[in-house]
């Protein structure tokens, strides 16, 4: 936590508005808009819920195809199943995010209703090109910016290129509300409809009137109070995350077989996690060695097309993300780490190499 969160939570309690409405819900929506440059935002209970609503608002129906990055966390893809739609996966380019050329091939063949592109580990995909392709084929673009809050492409925030963008306030993200998500959109009408669907699609009557299926997806005022407090520290968190990445690069960059996650020239990522790949050494051996020293680390995302849940799903390409999974490692990246911690971790990694 940064400092103001408890004060805001206390104010939320004093106002006695704990429910999914109240001052902080409105304020978080305003602050996310002001920060990201998106015209409209709806505070929700999770980033996953935000993706689900984005698909619903995109008019996705049963059996429709939706193109999704394969190199991502499950929550980019599972909302496609909530809609009884069919996910089609697209591989990464050499900078780890969705390959625009493969995307165009997939769009031509599959005629999807929507595209969900993830900005992985806080590093922007080639989003200007992806947005242009989606526009030229008239496909709705949904940006999964759950990991990339504050990351820029051409000085524009990830999440604000598509008709929809989503941010996550889950506990593991760069800032958190304990749990939560925000749906941003280029059209205020979409977002007010999202708020309606997220409150059980209750019609504006004295009694409980429902004309369509909704969800219980709003964020509580208490969570929003934490989120508002966290917005104050987002910029400093990004600076810290980027400094942690630079420290690792300084300490391990001389090792020839190590490649750190690249950054697009036109992008400035938030470096949510410091990640790298090994040419020869086994990352699982490195993870074991770190674990012996009481240090938690993880492999890179296992691609969606390799998940048992999606066996049989179509994938365009696949080899790049498979190699990333086989060869990659997420290093500890918590902003509370000190230089000595990073040096110790780097020393263990170095000692575990072949």
Instruction: Measure the CA angle with vertex 316, ends 153 and 129; round to 5°.
Output: 25
* Per-residue contact string for residues 137-176; x = within reach of ligand PLP by CB under 6 A: -------x-xx--------------------x-x------
Positive or negative: CA dihedral 186, 190, 191, 194: negative
Backbone conformation region of residue 96, classed left if phi is above 0, alpha if psi is from -120 to 50, else beta? left
- Paired tokens of 68: 């999704």
Please give the Cα distance from 95 to 261 (Å, whole number): 7
- Quick one: 78 or 281, whose CB is closer to ligand PLP? 78
Q: State the sign of the Cα–Cα–Cα–Cα dihedral 25, 30, 31, 36.
A: positive
Least Å distance, CB 17 to ligand PLP, is 22
- Only one residue has tokens 């106002």, namely 15
**Which residue, 122 or 317, has its beta carbon nearer to ligand PLP?**
122
Which positions from 109 through 128 interact with ligand PLP, judged by CB under 6 A? 118
CA distances from 295 to 291, 292, 335 (A): 5, 7, 15
Residues 44-103 that bind ligand PLP (CB under 6 A): 46-48, 72-73, 75-76
Judged by CB under 6 A, how many residues of this single chain contact ligand PLP?
14
Ranked by CB distance to ligand PLP, the top (closest) residue is 47
Out of 181, 283, 317, 328, the residue judged to bind ligand PLP by CB under 6 A: 181
Other C-beta atoms closer than 10 Å to the C-beta of 73 total 20
- Distance, CA of 322 to CA of 64 (rounded, Å): 26
Output the smallest distance, CB 80 to ligand PLP, in A: 12
Report the residue number, 330 or 349, with the smaller CB distance to ligand PLP: 330
If the CB atoms of residues 38 and 170 are measured against ligand PLP, the closer one turns out to be 170
Binding residues for ligand PLP, per CB under 6 A?
46-48, 72-73, 75-76, 118, 144, 146-147, 168, 170, 181
């Amino acid at each position: 936590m940064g400092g103001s969160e408890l004060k805001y939570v206390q104010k939320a309690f004093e106002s006695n508005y704990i429910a999914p409405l109240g001052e902080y819900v409105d304020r978080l929506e305003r602050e996310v808009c002001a920060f990201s440059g998106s015209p409209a935002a709806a505070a929700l209970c999770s980033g996953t819920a935000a993706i689900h609503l984005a698909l619903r608002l995109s008019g996705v129906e049963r059996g429709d195809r939706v193109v999704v990055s394969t190199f991502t966390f499950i929550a980019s893809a599972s909302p496609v199943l909530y809609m009884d739609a069919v996910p089609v996966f697209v591989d990464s380019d050499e900078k780890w995010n969705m390959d625009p050329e493969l995307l165009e091939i997939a769009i031509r063949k599959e005629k999807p209703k929507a595209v969900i592109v993830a900005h992985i580990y806080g590093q922007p995909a080639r989003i200007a090109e992806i947005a242009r392709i989606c526009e030229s084929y008239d496909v709705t673009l949904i940006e999964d910016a759950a990991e990339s809050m504050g990351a820029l492409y051409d000085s524009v925030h990830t999440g604000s290129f598509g008709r929809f963008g989503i941010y996550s306030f889950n506990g593991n993200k760069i800032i958190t509300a304990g749990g939560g998500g925000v749906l941003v959109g280029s059209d205020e009408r979409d977002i007010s409809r999202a708020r309606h669907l997220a409150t059980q699609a209750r019609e504006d009557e004295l009694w409980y009137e429902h004309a369509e299926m909704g969800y219980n997806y709003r964020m509580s005022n208490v969570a929003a109070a934490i989120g508002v407090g966290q917005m104050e520290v987002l910029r400093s968190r990004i600076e810290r995350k980027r400094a942690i990445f630079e420290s690792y690069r300084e300490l391990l960059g001389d090792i020839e077989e190590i490649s750190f996650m690249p950054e697009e020239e036109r992008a400035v990522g938030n470096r949510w996690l410091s990640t790298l790949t090994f040419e020869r050494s086994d990352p699982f051996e490195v993870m074991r060695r770190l674990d012996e020293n009481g240090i938690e680390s993880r492999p890179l995302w296992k691609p969606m097309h390799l998940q048992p849940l999606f066996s049989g799903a179509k994938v365009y390409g696949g080899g790049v993300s498979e190699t990333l999974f086989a060869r990659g490692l997420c290093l500890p990246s918590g902003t509370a780490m000190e230089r000595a911690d990073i040096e110790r971790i780097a020393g263990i990694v170095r000692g575990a190499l072949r």
